[in-house]
Amino acid sequence: MVYKIKDAEKRRVGNEIEIIDLYQGKNMPLNFVIGELNGFHGTMVNEKSIKYYYIIDGKAKVTINDEITDVEKGDFVVIPVNAKHSIEGNAEFAIICTPPFDPNYERKV
């Protein structure tokens, strides 16, 4: 199966992130989105999914629990379940969530 970015839905997540839902993961073990960050996305905890970020372009600061790391094009970030995390900067990235992202299991802290 092929999923075309031109056919994918775009949506905003707050004022700072635009998401392209490339693969929703219906009846599958993951979902895949492309995101564009301009600013600070806030601090979150996801109680169900592991999040995998691949930085396509740009630079950002990623905080996982109390560890702050500068990331840039080509870097790969793994955010475990229940980790307090945030991202801030100007970057384009791909996110895989497994199991698929469910907003009922993510909360702002």
Per-residue pLDDT at 26 exceeds 90: no
Give yes or no for residue 25 having a pLDDT over 90: no
CB neighbours (10 Å) of residue 31?
20
pLDDT digits 0-9 by tens, 68-94: 999 999 999 999 999 999 999 999 999
52-78: average pLDDT: 98
User: What pLDDT does 6 receive?
Assistant: 95
Mean pLDDT, to the nearest integer, of 41-52? 97
CATH number belonging to the domain at 7-101, selected among 2.60.120.560, 1.10.3720.10, 2.60.120.10, 2.60.40.10: 2.60.120.10
Closest-CA residue to 35 (of 102, 107, 89): 89
Q: The pTM is what?
A: 0.93
Task: Give the domain ranges of the chain.
Answer: 7-101
Mean of all residue pLDDT scores within the chain: 96
pLDDT at 71: 98
In this structure, how many other beta carbons lie within 10 angstroms of the beta carbon of residue 29?
9
106-108/84-98 β-pairing? unpaired
Residue 14 clears pLDDT 90, i.e. is over it: no
